[in-house]
Amino acid sequence: MANAFRRAGAEAGIIRGLPGARGLTGLVIPGVGSFSTVPKIAAALGGKKGIASLRMPVLCICLGMQALFCSSEESKGTAGLGILGGKVKKLGGNARLPQLGWNRVSQTKTGTGDPLFQGVKNNEHFYFANSFAAFPSSQKCVLGATEYGQMFASAVRAGNFWGVQFHPEKSGKAGQQIIRNFMAICSRRTAAVPSIDMIGGRAVRLKQGRQGTEEYYGNPLALAKKYEKAGFPLLHIVDLDAAFGGKSQLVLLRKISSQCRGIQIQWAGGIRNARSARAAFSAGAYRVVFGTAVARCPKLVRQSVLEFGPERVWASLDFAGKPPMLMIGGWKQGTAIGLQQAVELAKSCNIGGLIVSSVDADGMGGGPCLPLIAKARKLTLLPLVLAGGMRNPADAKAALANGADSAIIGRALYNEKTKIGEWACLQKE
């Protein structure tokens, strides 16, 4: 299996246990053997806590796919990983067992749109070697089905976990396409980052950050699931309650992170000390974003960077006026700090990246402030994200051309004026 990924151009290594592993962008769990070995797989992943904390894409093959389920007739009394509901049963009918050879995979409607099957024809042949097969309790997770004695699920997905009963490494060109698709999923870094602003547990957009201009757009969890399904690897969430000095929405963060395991959450709003950063990480955030603290107490930001690492601690610099001056306290308080001084302050905190926001452009539908990101790019080599005013992919491309590494998209995705796929496939050239 490792050689198949290496032939496709991946840097693939073999590990015996996940705890302590670093620098992985994806994980493959192959399997040739009995369901009785599933507890060893669970132990290698760090048990229930380790499995629950996995955010990278995971491809489970053959026995690896069967391990995703709760139990199997092959080894009664052995618990599966329980990531998917349902059972693994011995194939019925008059077919000879084991199934050894080529068979078709009929893609479901969900499978046709899934990134794992991009470029793979429906009813394509793949190589199988199995006597047992998975029968999920819900068909929503099924990407593909195969008939051998009876119909069974041959490809499934649960968040960041994909499972295939066939062996892609033995399946010719179609199998190679599956491998390349999974590599693309692992390396995917879309230049568009969807954003959800929250007030009182609802998704909202404000105009220039002013309270009293709220427009509500429904359930944040439903939106997060939608963005995860579209293939976005990162979601920017702003807790406006905490930003405005109210109660933090960590309960909702915990719910989103537990139900949307295929998307990483960048959490902003009210992160002003190490304690609030720890609370956000504990609730499932992948990254926290400091704002006001960068200007008021950069020492606290530096402490969090030391504790959690620069990749997981970023800063947001929000500007308004001409010339642009830094805004703090949920965009309510102006400062005498200009762009250059603000960027130098953020860099002194050793953060991993910067979000640069135009308060004047935010929520106004007039397009992004391109000069702002262009000037910021001249001041730093850190990863830069531009927020505010994105109307369509053309705006985002213009931001990239002016120095941004990615762009945050809010209202444009809420309103669905452009197809979500146009944003999800946006890459920096």
The residue behind tokens 């994909």 is 162
Number of Cβ within 10 Å of residue 55's Cβ equals 17
74, 124, 169, 228: the catalytic one is 169
* Burial degree of 73 (CB within 10 A; 0-12, 13-18, 19+): exposed
- Answer yes or no: 167 catalytic: yes
Which one from 60, 62, 186, 369 is the annotated catalytic residue? 62
Give Cβ neighbours of residue 20 (< 8 Å, ≥ 6 apart).
none
Alpha carbons 144 and 242: distance in angstroms, whole number: 43
The DSSP element (H or E) to which 356 belongs, if any, is strand 354-358
Choice among 60, 124, 141, 167 that is catalytic: 167
- The conformational region for residue 348 under phi > 0 = left, psi -120 to 50 = alpha, else beta, is alpha
Q: Which distant-in-sequence residues (6+ apart) come within 8 Å of 96 by Cβ? A: none
Distance CA(57)–CA(182), nearest Å, equals 8
Tokens 């041959």 belong to 154
Using alpha carbons, select from 92, 90, 125, 119 the residue that is nearest to residue 106.
125
**Angle between helix 370-379 and 393-401 (nearest 10):** 30
User: In sequence order, what E strands does 56-98 have?
Assistant: 58-61, 71-72, 86-90
Distances (CA, A) of 181 to 6, 170, 174, 187, 297: 14, 16, 11, 10, 44
CA-based nearest residue to 166, from 61, 297, 320: 61
Strands 202-205 and 161-164, by their bridges, are unpaired
Is 124 among the residues known to form the active site? no
- What's the angle, vertex CA 222, arms to CA 81 and CA 412, rounded to 5? 130
CA distance 71 to 74: 9
Which residues does the annotation mark as catalytic?
Answer: 62, 167, 169
